[in-house]
Chains A and B, each alone.
Chain A
Amino acid sequence: MSFSVDVLEGARIALGSLLAHRLRTVLTTVGIGIGVATLLAIVGITQGLDASFEAQLASLGSSTLYVAKQPWVQFGNWWEFRNRKPLTLAHVEAVRAQCGPCETVVPLVDEDEDLAFQGNELSAVNVTGTTEDWPRVSGFEVTRGRFLTQTDDDNLRLVAVVGADVADTLFPGVNPVGQTLRVGKKPFTVVGTLGRKGKVLDSSQDLVVVIPFHTFTGFFAGRRSVTIGVSVPRPELLDEAEDALVGILRRARQTPPGKSDDFAINRPEQLASTYQQLTGALYAVALGIGFITLLVGGIGIMNIMLVSVRERTREIGIRRALGARRRTIIVQFMLEAMLVSAVGGLLGTGVGLGGARLVSLVTPLAATVKPLTVLFGVGFAALVGLVFGIWPAARAASLDPVEALRQE
């Protein structure tokens, strides 16, 4: 008897047996389905998190560097970072003069201040002091009015450009341009508004007020470290720019040779790799839980297949007596196990996708599932059936026909 006949006949018998024990089949299917659903939901949420975080980081600018006293993500001696010499405008000038690959260089200082406009209030909003080139580094666009100018900075004018969230919250239904906004205790005239950029890690980039650099240093905290915002023409130039910046700043800050940098060059995509390091372990644990669930489902299949083999011992004996080879019996029981798990896998895929969709509806996480993942889910379930079906099937095939026929 050929293998294809084995498979056809085996599939027919397997289907018949599964239909004959519907409740048992459904329960086993549910077991494997839960495993696949868990796995798929986890993978979906993970992929969604990664995708949304990548999008968020892209909004920070893919060809931007921020030189600061401290790194964004700190491992090690906080005190050492804290005691570093501040970066100053002189360093900004050195970078502007000497850094070849750098296109735009701006100084940045910031502070959280309370805002108020005609009874509307916002507390602890990021107020950034910078210069006229800032939009080119930050990627913000001016939607209404104008941005800050050199003249604003030279004259320490009390003018401000507000982010979209500030505009919406403090000036509902009013054009903010020309209005007087209270920043801390000082009245500022709003000269422009910024386009919306969205959130990074749940904090809005649009909750911001931008004022001239020297206005900031004059009215708010005076001696503080400046952050140097740098943009390069193309992302490929980031490494070159970083090398140049390290050299310039070490010279400007007279860092002795052999001593490590006493400043940090922060890049948004490094944030991504740090994020992946931190979340990778979490994902691995979640994935592990999914696999264990699937394993439990697989053991359920093995259990039910062993019961099936025991119940059908006489049937196996009859088939063997009438000329079924061992292989024929193995194929029959393997197909039965794989059929149950593939159906479970399909079911679980549906539930898993639904679960991922639900998560993306009720939480801010955008869960996405790639088509390949679905294939993986069903295929993996069938593989589980294969693995956990082997032993029961082998037991069925190795039964002695004489003993099997004697079974009641």
Chain B
Amino acid sequence: MLIELTDIAREYVVGGETVRALAGVTVHVGKGEWVAIVGQSGSGKSTLMNVIGCLDTPTRGTYRLNGHDVARLSDDELADIRNREIGFIFQNFQLLPRETALANVELPLVYRGVPARERRARAVAALEQVKLANRMTHKPTELSGGQRQRVAIARALAAEPSLLLADEPTGNLDSATGEDIVRLFEQLHGQGHTIVLVTHEPKLAARCPRAVRLSDGRVVGDGPGAQVAFGDPRP
């Protein structure tokens, strides 16, 4: 198993009141799987994504990512885990606006301490993989939305992480461009990448081989994407 989430709970204290975003979630994801996490806003899917992405730590439960017991790691160790194990793909791309596409893709390798020459070669290779080799020296503002998202995917791929973690990757794109990105995911899945995709769109979740439906911080469905995405709210 690549991801082993067991009885994960995450509570926040907001204005003296305790908000329970996750109330005991257990999900396992194997290597090479493509899993959608689907649910309406407030269902806890964003919190779950932050936990899976090691950006947030659960208040209860255990989380093993590629053999690491993540719940017990320090802030610096979490930064290193994010760097090595996770490739983030965000809804609003999260590229550095003043840097070129190439520099953006190199960034995780910079933080890993990869020497400049190798870093560059790997970044170029990643950009070629998303068919953006001719746009390397452009800054994000000079790129279209779809191109920006492909830069972000290249950035995630360049670090060769064990998990691609995508948060509404088509949310800011028109339907045609979104379709291109989904195809790219299908391609990456075919190459053996493990993908966790968080979305509120049942149509997108339905195209994933497996989907996990969340509601009120609990898993209410887990099965083939086409069934769980729209269907029965009970597991």
| Chain A contacts to B: CB under 8 angstroms | 1-2, 5, 9, 16, 20, 314-315, 317-328, 401-402, 405
B75 A323 Cβ-Cβ under 8 A? no
Q: Known: A401-B55, A402-B50, A402-B55. Contact between A324 and B98, CB under 8 A?
A: no
| Chain B contacts to A: CB under 8 angstroms | 50, 53, 55-56, 75-76, 79-80, 82-84, 88, 90, 94-96, 98, 107-108, 110-113, 155, 159
Name the one of B50, B80, B96 contacting A323, with C-beta atoms under 8 angstroms.
B80
B-chain residues with CB within 8 Å of residue A317 when the two chains form the complex: 94
Main SS of chain B's interface residues?
helix
B112 A1 Cβ-Cβ under 8 A? yes
Given contacts A319-B107, A327-B76, 8 further A-B contacts (CB under 8 A): A5-B113, A318-B94, A318-B95, A318-B107, A321-B53, A323-B82, A401-B55, A405-B94
CB distance from B165 to the nearest CB of A (A): 10
Closest to A320 in B: B79
Q: Known: A402-B50, A402-B56. Contact between A1 and B90, CB under 8 A?
A: no
Q: How far is the CA of A184 from the CA of B205 in the complex (A)?
A: 116
Closest to B113 in A: A1
Q: Known: A2-B113, A321-B55. Contact between A314 and B94, CB under 8 A?
A: yes
Closest 6 CB pairs of A and B: A323-B83, A323-B111, A322-B108, A325-B79, A1-B113, A325-B76
Name the one of B50, B79, B88, B155 contacting A324, with C-beta atoms under 8 angstroms.
B79
CB distance from A49 to the nearest CB of B (A): 50
Q: How far is the CA of A46 from the CA of B50 in the complex (A)?
A: 61
CB distance from B92 to the nearest CB of A (A): 9
B-chain residues with CB within 8 Å of residue A5 when the two chains form the complex: 110, 113
B-chain residues with CB within 8 Å of residue A324 when the two chains form the complex: 79, 111
A326 B88 Cβ-Cβ under 8 A? no
Q: How far is the CA of A5 from the CA of B115 in the complex (A)?
A: 10
Q: How far is the CA of A323 from the CA of B83 in the complex (A)?
A: 4
A326 B94 Cβ-Cβ under 8 A? no
Q: How far is the CA of A149 from the CA of B162 in the complex (A)?
A: 107
B-chain residues with CB within 8 Å of residue A321 when the two chains form the complex: 53, 55, 82, 88, 94
A-chain residues with CB within 8 Å of residue B90 when the two chains form the complex: 405
A322 B88 Cβ-Cβ under 8 A? yes
Residue of A317, A321, A326 ringed by the most chain B CB atoms within 10 A: A321
CB distance from A95 to the nearest CB of B (A): 81
B-chain residues with CB within 8 Å of residue A20 when the two chains form the complex: 98
Closest to A16 in B: B98
A323 B79 Cβ-Cβ under 8 A? yes
Residue of B90, B110, B112 ringed by the most chain A CB atoms within 10 A: B110
Q: How far is the CA of A2 from the CA of B75 in the complex (A)?
A: 16
Name the one of A16, A322, A326 contacting B111, with C-beta atoms under 8 angstroms.
A322
15 A-B pairs within 8 Å (CB atoms) are namely A5-B113, A318-B107, A321-B53, A322-B155, A323-B79, A323-B80, A323-B108, A324-B111, A325-B79, A325-B111, A327-B76, A328-B111, A402-B50, A405-B55, A405-B90
Closest to B115 in A: A5
Q: How far is the CA of A325 from the CA of B88 in the complex (A)?
A: 17
B98 A323 Cβ-Cβ under 8 A? no
Q: How far is the CA of A68 from the CA of B81 in the complex (A)?
A: 86
CB distance from B181 to the nearest CB of A (A): 19
B-chain residues with CB within 8 Å of residue A328 when the two chains form the complex: 111
B111 A1 Cβ-Cβ under 8 A? yes
Q: How far is the CA of A324 from the CA of B78 in the complex (A)?
A: 10
A-chain residues with CB within 8 Å of residue B80 when the two chains form the complex: 323, 325
Q: How far is the CA of A322 from the CA of B112 in the complex (A)?
A: 9
Q: How far is the CA of A322 from the CA of B100 in the complex (A)?
A: 16
B-chain residues with CB within 8 Å of residue A2 when the two chains form the complex: 113
Q: How far is the CA of A401 from the CA of B94 in the complex (A)?
A: 12
B-chain residues with CB within 8 Å of residue A326 when the two chains form the complex: 75-76, 79
Closest to A326 in B: B75
A-chain residues with CB within 8 Å of residue B55 when the two chains form the complex: 321, 401-402, 405
CB distance from B13 to the nearest CB of A (A): 14
Q: How far is the CA of A325 from the CA of B84 in the complex (A)?
A: 13
Q: Known: A401-B55, A402-B55, A402-B56. Contact between A323 and B112, CB under 8 A?
A: yes
